[in-house]
C-alpha cells in the first residue's frame, strides 16, 4: 500500500537550511519500488529522515519481542532468510532459494554468497545457525512449535528439520518477532533471559546510536549487498537513498502531528483518527492501512481470570462497537470482526465465533453467577502510548462495572508495560495491538502458550494441529472454524476488530510503503 497525497493545498515551514537535491538518475526510486543492486545503496539525496515514533522500543532486535515498535525499526538493520512481498508471497532474502520436504519436516536453504554484516565480515552458514538458535529460544511460537528443531550445514546449504511436521517456513517469515540474522560472535555469551548488546545485521541501515526513550539513530550501510529484484513489501531491493534515519520517541499523538506541521519531523507514526483532518492539503501524504488487531488478553495462569466462567461473562458482555468508536471517529477506519485470521488469509472464516460481540449483559450475569469470582478488584494493565489500547481498557472497565465488578486500570509507558505484562502475578487483563501477517494462524504469537496470557487449552492445541495439517480450502476453513470455536469456548483472547493504522509524512517524501508496518528504506525527498 502506498502513501496517497492529500488534495487541498497549503503552505509549510521548512526546517532544514540544507537544500535537498533531486535524484540524479531519473526513475531511481518510485512508489512502486527501486533497485539498489548487488553493490549496495547509492544516490543519496538528503542527509536525514526524522520520524516521530509512538512508543519507545524495548529492543531494536526483532527476534527479541513481539512489538511493532521494535520490528519496524529493527527491520532496517536486520534481515532474515525469507520475507513477504506486497502480495503476502514468500520471497528469498538472505537465502538464495529453498526446498521444503513434502512431509513438512525439513527445509533446505541455499544461502546467498558475499553478504556482508555491518562490521565488514561476510555472512556464513554458522552465523545463520547461531541466529536461528537465538531466535528459536525467543520467538514465542518457535518455542512452542520448533522444540525439536535441528540444523545441519553442507557447504552453502543449511537444512532445518523437526521430528514432526511443523510450519518451519511460515515461522521464519512471520512479521511478529521475525528472524534477525547477525554474526555468531555477537551471540556468544548471551544467556537465557539476556539480550543482544551489539546491533549488527545485514540490512540497508546500520545501528548508530540509541538514547533510551529519546531516539534511535541509524545510518546508511554503504557496503550493503542487496537484491536487484523489484522492491515489494519486505522483499526485493532496498535503496537507502537517505543517509540517516532517526526515530524520535514522541508518545503524545498531538505532539507528533504538531511536529510534522512545524517541520520538526518528516514522517510520523500512529496518527489518531480525529487528528487526520489536520493533515489535509498538498503538504502532507497520509496512509491508512487496514488490518491491525487490538486484542484483550486474560491471565489464565493465576488470579480471578483463571476462572473460565468469568472470562466467558466478559466475552459475552463487551460491545465491540463501543471499543472501536472510542478510538476511531470515522467508521471506515475499523471493521467489527472477531476472526483469528485476517481477511485474505486462507484460514479466514466467520464460523466458530458464537458469543463474540454479543453485548449481552443478562447472559454475562448468568455466567458470572456460575463463576468462583468473590469480589476481587480486577487489575487492568494498559498503556497510553497506544491510545487504542487505553481506550479498549476504558470500555472493558465500564463493562465490568455494569456487571458489578470493580477494577483498577494501571497505565505504564510501553517498555515498562511489556516488562510488567511478562509476569503473571502483575495483572488480570492486558491488551496489545499488532498486525498478524502470516499464512498460518498457528504462527500467530498470541496463540502460543508462552505469550503473556498463558493459554492452556487442549482444544486450542488440537485445533492448531488441525490448522497445520490442512491442505484443501475446505480443510482450512474447517480448521479455522475449529480454532475459533475452541477460543470462544475457552476464551483465550478477545479481538475487537480490524483497525486502521494511520501514518503521515510531508508530501515531498516519496518511496514510502506499508505492509505490516511502515517501510522507510526506499524513501527519498523529491524536491
Residue-wise pLDDT for 300-310, tens only, equals 999 999 999 99
> C-alpha 326: how far from its chain's center?
22
Please count the CA atoms within 13 angstroms of the CA of 17 that sit on its side-chain side: 0
Looking at residue 40, its pLDDT comes to 40
Same domain, 222 and 329: no
Please count the CA atoms within 13 angstroms of the CA of 199 that sit on its side-chain side: 24
Within a domain: 10: no
Same domain, 350 and 365: yes
Looking at residue 17, its pLDDT comes to 32
Looking at residue 374, its pLDDT comes to 95
Q: Is there a contact between 4 and 287 (Cβ–Cβ < 8 Å)?
A: yes
No. of helices (H) and no. of strands (E), the chain: 13, 24
Same domain, 437 and 472: yes
* Average pLDDT over all residues of the chain: 89
Question: Residue 247 and residue 212: Cα distance in Å, rounded?
Answer: 11
Question: Residue 94 and residue 115: Cα distance in Å, rounded?
Answer: 8
Same domain, 387 and 468: yes
Which 8-state DSSP code applies to residue 377?
A: P
Within a domain: 12: no
The CA distances from residue 291 to 1, 468, 493, in Å, are 12, 23, 17
Looking at residue 437, its pLDDT comes to 65
Question: Residue 444 and residue 293: Cα distance in Å, rounded?
Answer: 12
Characterize 29-42 residue by residue with b for buried, 16 or more Cβ atoms within 10 angstroms of its Cβ, and e for exposed: beeebbbbeeebbb
* Containing structural domain, residue 396: 290-501
Looking at residue 46, its pLDDT comes to 62
Same domain, 250 and 309: no
> Coil, strand, or helix at residue 499?
strand
> Coil, strand, or helix at residue 510?
strand
Within a domain: 409: yes
Within a domain: 16: no
Q: Is there a contact between 480 and 307 (Cβ–Cβ < 8 Å)?
A: no
Same domain, 327 and 418: yes
Same domain, 474 and 445: yes
Listed residue (485, 190, 523) closest to 353, CA to CA: 485
Between CA 463 and CA 469, with CA 468 as vertex, the angle to 5 degrees is 100
Within a domain: 6: no
Within a domain: 144: yes
Within a domain: 477: yes
Q: How many residues does the chain have?
A: 527
> Coil, strand, or helix at residue 45?
coil
Same domain, 108 and 164: yes
Same domain, 373 and 519: no
Question: Residue 321 and residue 325: Cα distance in Å, rounded?
Answer: 6
Q: What is the CATH number of the domain that holds 108?
A: 3.40.190.10
**Dihedral of the alpha carbons of 508, 513, 514, 515, in degrees to the nearest 10:** 180
Please state the domain count of the chain. Answer: 2
Same domain, 400 and 465: yes
What are 448's three cell numbers?
A: 502460543
Question: Residue 260 and residue 51: Cα distance in Å, rounded?
Answer: 9
Q: Where are the alpha helices (DSSP H) in 299-446?
A: 308-317, 320-325, 361-370, 387-402, 414-421
Please count the CA atoms within 13 angstroms of the CA of 38 that sit on its side-chain side: 4
Q: Where are the alpha helices (DSSP H) in 285-359?
A: 308-317, 320-325
Same domain, 248 and 329: no
Please count the CA atoms within 13 angstroms of the CA of 439 that sit on its side-chain side: 17
Same domain, 225 and 374: no
Within a domain: 8: no
Q: What is the CATH number of the domain that holds 410?
A: 3.10.105.10
> C-alpha 40: how far from its chain's center?
27
User: Is the whole model's pTM more than 0.75, yes or no?
Assistant: yes
Intervals of the chain under pLDDT 70: 1-46, 436-438, 527
Looking at residue 19, its pLDDT comes to 31
Listed residue (52, 46, 58, 38) closest to 20, CA to CA: 46
E-strand stretches of 134-182: 150-154, 157-161
Amino acid at each position: 500500500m502506498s502513501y496517497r497525497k492529500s488534495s487541498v493545498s497549503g503552505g509549510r515551514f521548512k526546517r532544514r537550511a540544507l537544500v535537498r537535491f533531486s535524484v540524479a538518475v531519473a526513475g531511481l526510486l518510485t512508489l512502486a519500488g527501486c533497485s539498489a543492486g548487488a553493490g549496495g545503496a547509492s544516490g543519496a539525496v538528503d542527509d536525514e529522515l526524522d520520524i516521530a515514533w509512538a512508543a519507545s522500543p524495548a529492543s531494536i532486535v526483532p527476534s527479541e519481542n513481539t512489538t511493532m515498535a521494535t520490528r519496524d525499526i529493527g527491520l532496517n538493520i536486520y534481515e532474515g532468510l525469507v520475507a513477504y512481498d506486497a502480495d503476502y508471497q514468500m520471497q528469498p532474502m538472505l537465502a538464495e532459494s529453498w526446498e521444503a520436504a513434502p512431509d513438512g519436516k525439513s527445509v533446505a536453504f541455499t544461502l546467498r554468497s558475499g553478504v556482508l554484516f555491518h562490521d565488514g565480515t561476510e555472512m556464513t552458514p554458522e552465523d545463520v545457525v547461531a541466529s536461528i538458535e537465538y531466535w528459536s529460544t525467543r520467538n514465542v511460537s518457535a518455542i512452542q512449535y520448533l522444540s525439536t528443531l535441528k540444523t545441519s550445514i553442507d557447504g552453502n546449504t543449511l537444512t532445518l528439520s523437526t521430528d514432526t511436521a511443523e510450519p518451519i517456513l511460515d515461522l521464519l517469515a512471520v512479521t511478529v518477532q521475525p528472524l534477525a540474522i547477525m554474526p555468531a560472535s555477537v551471540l556468544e555469551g548471551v544467556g537465557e533471559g539476556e539480550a543482544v548488546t551489539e546491533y549488527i545485521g545485514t540490512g540497508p541501515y546500520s545501528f548508530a546510536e540509541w538514547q533510551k526513550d529519546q531516539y534511535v539513530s541509524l545510518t546508511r550501510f554503504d557496503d550493503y549487498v542487496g537484491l536487484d529484484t523489484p522492491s515489494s513489501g519486505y522483499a526485493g531491493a532496498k535503496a537507502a537513498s537517505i543517509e540517516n534515519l532517526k526515530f524520535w520517541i514522541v508518545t503524545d499523538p498531538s505532539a507528533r502531528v504538531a511536529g510534522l506541521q512545524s517541520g520538526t519531523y518528516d514522517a510520523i507514526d500512529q496518527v489518531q483518527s480525529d487528528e487526520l483532518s489536520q493533515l489535509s492539503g498538498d503538504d502532507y501524504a497520509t496512509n491508512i492501512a487496514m488490518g491491525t488487531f487490538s486484542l484483550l488478553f486474560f491471565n489464565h495462569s493465576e488470579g480471578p481470570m483463571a476462572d473460565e466462567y468469568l472470562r466467558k461473562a466478559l466475552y459475552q458482555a463487551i460491545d465491540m462497537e463501543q471499543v472501536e468508536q472510542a478510538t476511531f471517529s470515522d467508521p471506515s477506519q475499523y471493521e467489527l470482526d472477531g476472526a483469528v485470521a485476517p481477511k485474505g488469509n486462507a484460514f479466514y472464516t466467520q464460523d466458530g465465533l458464537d458469543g463474540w460481540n454479543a453485548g449481552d449483559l443478562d447472559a454475562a450475569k448468568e455466567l458470572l453467577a456460575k463463576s468462583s469470582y468473590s469480589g476481587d478488584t480486577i487489575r487492568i494493565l494498559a498503556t497510553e502510548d497506544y491510545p487504542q489500547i487505553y481506550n479498549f481498557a476504558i470500555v472493558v472497565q465500564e463493562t465490568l462495572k455494569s456487571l458489578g465488578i470493580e477494577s483498577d486500570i494501571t497505565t505504564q509507558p510501553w517498555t515498562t508495560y511489556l516488562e510488567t505484562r511478562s509476569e503473571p502475578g502483575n495483572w488480570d487483563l492486558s491488551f496489545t495491538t499488532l498486525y498478524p501477517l502470516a499464512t498460518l494462524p498457528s504462527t500467530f504469537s498470541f496463540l502460543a502458550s508462552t505469550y503473556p496470557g498463558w493459554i492452556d487449552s487442549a482444544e486450542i492445541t488440537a485445533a492448531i494441529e488441525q490448522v497445520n495439517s490442512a491442505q484443501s480450502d475446505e480443510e482450512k476453513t474447517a480448521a479455522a472454524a475449529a480454532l475459533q470455536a475452541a477460543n470462544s469456548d475457552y476464551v483465550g483472547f478477545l479481538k475487537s476488530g480490524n483497525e486502521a493504522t494511520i501514518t503521515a509524512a510531508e508530501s515531498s517524501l516519496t518511496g514510502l510503503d506499508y505492509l505490516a508496518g511502515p517501510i522507510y528504506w526506499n524513501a527519498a525527498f523529491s524536491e
